[in-house]
Amino acid sequence: MSVCSLDDYLALPDHSMDERIDQARMRLGKTTILLGHHYQRDEVIRFADFTGDSYKLSKAAAETDAKYIVFCGVHFMAESADVLSRDGQQVILPDLNAGCSMADMAEITQVEDCWDALERVGLASETIPLTYMNSSAAIKAFCGERGGLVCTSSNARGAFEWAFKRGKRILFLPDQHLGRNTGYAMGIPLEEMVVWDPWGLQGGLTRQSLTDSKVVLWKGHCAVHQRFLPSHVDQVRARYPGIQVIVHPECRFEVCQKADALGSTERLIALVDQAPVGTMFAVGTEIHLVNRMARRFAAEGKKIITLDDTGCLCTTMYRISPQHLAWALESLTEGRVVNRIEVRPEVKHWARVALDRMLEIKA
C-alpha cells in the first residue's frame, strides 16, 4: 500500500503513529538513523537513536554508516548535518516549517551588508566573524570564507579566545545574549560590546563606536530564552530558599548575572547530575528539556522546576510531530525521500571549513 499524503497523517491522533513508526524503523534497519534534539517533544524524542544538541547529533550521524539521517530538530540543524555528512548520506527534516527564529534574524544579505559597512570604515580586515551554531549554512559559510568559525554555547569562550589571537574585534552572529555573556565573562566591558541592528543605518552605530568596540553583537536572540526575566530569579529564590538557579547563556545578561551557573543543554544536565541528593534547581531553558530532567532526576532525590512557571517551549521545534515522523519514515520504506535538506556545494565547502575550525578550540 502506497504512502498517503502528509495531510492524511496529520488528521490522525498522535498515539496511532507509534506502531507505524516502530514498524517503519524495523523495515529500514541500519539504513536510517533518527536524531532527536533535547527540545523535541516526548512523543518524538522517544524514538531517537541519539539525543543531544545540534552539533553532537550531526557528528554522531556522520560517524554512522546510515544512508538516511532523519533529523528531528530545526532547519539549521539539518543543514549542519548535511554539511558534515559523508558522500551518499541524505538528511531529512520531517517538517520543513521547523525553523529557528534566532537563525532567521540574520539573513545572509544583511550580514554581507554589515561586512561591507565594516570594510568602508576600514575595520573588516581586523574583525573576525564568528557565528553560533544556531545559524544558516550560508552564515556559517560566510564566516568560514572570511577566516572565522562556528561555535556552540559550550565552546563560545574558546572561540572568542581563538578569534582574538587573529584579530582586534569579533563580529558575533546571531545571538547577542550569548555573545555578551561570553565577552563579559572574559572581562570585556559592556561598553566595548556594541549591538549591530541590521535594520538601522550602519547598524545604528557610529564609526567611532565601531572602532572602539571589541565585539560587535548582532541584534538577534532566542525567543524561548529571552522570555526569562530577572524577576523570575528573584521570585524562585524567595519561594524556595537555597534553590540553585542554572540558565542557558542565551538568556538575557541580567538573568545570567543573577544565576548560580550558566551552561549549554548538555552542561545543564551535567550540573544536575553531579549535584548532591536533595538539591533543588530552577532551570532557565526550554520546557520539554526541563520536564524531562525533572522526571529523570526525581529518582535521585533532586527537584527540578522551570525558572518561569508559565513554561517556555520552542514552538518551531514543536512542529515536528509523530505524524510528520511516521510520514517521513514510511515514505523511505517505499524508496521515496521527502523533505531532503541539501546544502549547495560552494556553501557546503566554506561552512565545513568553519565547522572544522571549531575543532581547533577548547570547549
The CATH number for 178's domain is 3.40.50
- The answer to whether residue 312 sits within a structural domain is no
- Residue matched to cell numbers 541580567: 254
Same domain, 111 and 203: yes
Name the β-bridge partners of 244. Answer: 281
pLDDT tens string 339-354: 999 999 999 999 999 9
- Which residues constitute the domain of residue 245? 225-306
Residue 352: inside a domain: no
Q: Which residues contact 159 (CB under 8 A, 6 or more apart)?
A: 130, 149, 150, 151, 358, 361
Q: How many CB atoms lie within 10 A of CB 117?
A: 18
Domain limit, last residue, from 206, 222, 238: 222
Provide the residue count of the chain. Answer: 363
This prediction has a pTM of 0.90
Cell readout for 224 is 524561548
Q: Let me know if 334 is exposed, middle or buried by CB neighbors in 10 A (0-12, 13-18, 19+).
A: exposed
3-state SS of the chain?
CCCCCHHHHHCCCHHHHHHHHHHHHHHHHHHEEEEEECCCCHHHHCCCCEEECHHHHHHHHHCCCCCEEEEECCHHHHHHHHHHCCCCCEEECCCCCCCCHHHHCCCHHHHHHHHHHHHHCCCHHHEEEEEECCCCHHHHHHHHHCCCEEECCCCHHHHHHHHHCCCCEEEEECCHHHHHHHHHHCCCCHHHEEEECCCCHHHHCCHHHHHHCCEEEECCCCCCHHHCCHHHHHHHHHHCCCCEEEECCCCCHHHHHHCCEECCHHHHHHHHHCCCCCCEEEEECCHHHHHHHHHHHHCCCCEEEECCCCCCCCCCHHHCCHHHHHHHHHHHHCCCCCCEECCCHHHHHHHHHHHHHHCCCCC
Together in a domain, 67 and 109 = no
93, 199: one domain: no
94-106 residues labelled b (16+ CB within 10 A) or e (exposed): bbeebbbbbbebb
Do 109 and 216 have their domain in common? yes
Residue 362 located in a structural domain:
no
Domain count, the chain: 3
Do the domain assignments include residue 358? Answer: no
For residue 66, tell me if it sits in a domain.
yes
Q: Largest Cα–Cα distance in the chain? A: 67
Kindly state whether residues 212 and 289 are assigned to the same domain.
Answer: no
- CATH number for the domain that contains residue 89: 3.40.50.10800
Domain-embedded: residue 355: no
Report yes or no on 356 lying in a domain: no
What pLDDT does residue 1 have? Answer: 46
152 plus 197 within the same structural domain: yes
Q: Extract the residue ranges of the chain whose pLDDT is less than 70.
A: 1-3, 311-312, 315, 318, 362-363
Residues 131 and 153 in one domain: yes
**Burial status of residue 121 (CB atoms within 10 A of its CB: 0-12, 13-18, 19 or more):** middle
pLDDT at site 354:
95
Are 330 and 257 part of one and the same domain? Answer: no
Residues 122 and 218 occupy one common structural domain: yes
Instruction: Say if 361 falls within a structural domain.
Output: no
Q: Note whether 116 and 210 are same-domain residues.
A: yes
Same domain, 43 and 72: yes
Sign of the Cα torsion 235, 239, 242, 243 reads negative
211/321 same-domain check: no
Preceding omega of 174 cis (within 30 degrees of 0): yes
